[in-house]
Structure 1
Amino acid sequence: MTHKISFRDVVKTFPMKNGTFDALGGVSLDIGEREFVTVVGPSGCGKSTLLSMAAGLVEPTSGDVVVDGRPVTGPGPDRGVIFQQYALFPWLTVRRNVEFGLQLTSMPAKERKARADHAIELVGLTDFADALPKTLSGGMKQRCAIARAYAVDPEVLLMDEPFGALDALTRVQLQDQLLDTWSKERRTVMFITHDVEEAVYLANRVVVMAARPGRVHSVVDVDLPYPRTEEMRLSPEFAELRNRVWYSVYHQDPAAAPA
Structure 2
Amino acid sequence: MNSRISFQDVVKTFPLKGAEFTALDGVSLDIADQEFVTVVGPSGCGKSTLMSMAAGLQEPSSGRVLVDGRPVTGPGPDRGVIFQQYALFPWLTVRQNVEFGLKLAAVPTQERRRRAAEAITLVGLDDFADALPKTLSGGMKQRCAIARAYAVDPQVLLMDEPFGALDALTRVQLQDQLLATWSREKRTVLFITHDVDEAVYLASRVVVMAARPGRIHRVVDVDLPYPRTEEIRLSADFRQIRNAVWTSVYHQESTAPAA
Range of TM-score over shorter length: over 0.9
Residue in 2 that maps onto 1:22: 22
For 1:183 and 1:127, the matched residues in 2 are separated by 23
Shift of 1:105: 2.0
Match of 1:127 in 2: 127
Unaligned runs of 5+ in 2: none
2:108 corresponds in structure 1 to 108
Which residue number corresponds to residue 228 of structure 2? 228
Query: 1:18 deviation in Å?
Result: 3.2
1:147-187 deviation line (CA, Å, top 9, x unaligned): 00000000000000000000000000000010010011000
| Rounded Cα–Cα distance in structure 1 between residues aligned with 2:56 and 2:11 | 15
1:188 counterpart residue number: 188
**Superposition RMSD in Å:** 0.8
Note if 1:214 corresponds to 2:214: yes
> What residue is the counterpart of 2:56 in the other structure?
56
CA deviation after TM superposition for structure 1 residue 206, in Å? 0.2
The equivalent of 1:88 in structure 2 is 88
For residues 195-206 of structure 1, what are the structure 2 equivalents within 5 Å? 195-206=195-206
Please state how far the C-alpha of 1:254 moved relative to its aligned partner: 1.6
**Consecutive aligned runs of 4 or more in structure 1 exceeding 6 Å deviation:** none
Question: TM-score w.r.t. structure 2 length?
Answer: 0.98
Rounded to whole Å, the distance in 2 between the matches of 1:61 and 1:202 is 31
Secondary structure in structure 1 of the residue aligned to 2:121: helix
Taking the aligned partners of 1:133 and 1:255, their CA distance within structure 2 comes to: 46
Match of 2:139 in 1: 139
Distance 1:28 1:249 in 2: 18
Residue by residue over 1:33-81, the C-alpha shift from the partner in whole angstroms, topping out at 9 and shown as x without a partner, is 0000000000000010000000000000000000000000000000000
Per-residue deviation at 1:17?
Answer: 1.4
Residue 106 of structure 1 and its aligned partner are, at CA, apart by: 2.7
Task: Give the secondary-structure state (helix, strand or coil) at the position aligned to 1:141.
Answer: helix
- In 1, the alpha carbon distance for the partners of 2:204 and 2:230 equals 17
CA displacement at 1:20 relative to structure 2: 1.2
Amino acid at match of 1:146: I
Q: Tell me, in whole angstroms, the C-alpha distance in 2 between the residues paired with 1:67 and 1:106.
A: 24
- 2:69 & 2:13 partners in 1: Cα distance? 25
Q: Quote the Cα distance in structure 2 between the aligned partners of 1:97 and 1:106.
A: 15
Tell me how far 1:255 sits from its aligned partner: 2.5
Normalising by the residue count of structure 1, what TM-score does the alignment of the two structures yield?
0.98
**Residue 136 of structure 1, CA deviation:** 0.3
Work out the CA distance in 1 between the residues paired with 2:133 and 2:106. Answer: 26
Q: Which amino acid aligns with 1:84?
A: Q
Quote the residue 2:73 is aligned against: 73
Q: Which runs of 5+ in 1 are unaligned?
A: none
CA separation in 2, counterparts of 1:141 and 1:196?
24
Partner-residue secondary structure (3-state), 2:29: strand
Which residue identity lines up with residue 87 of structure 1 in the other structure?
A
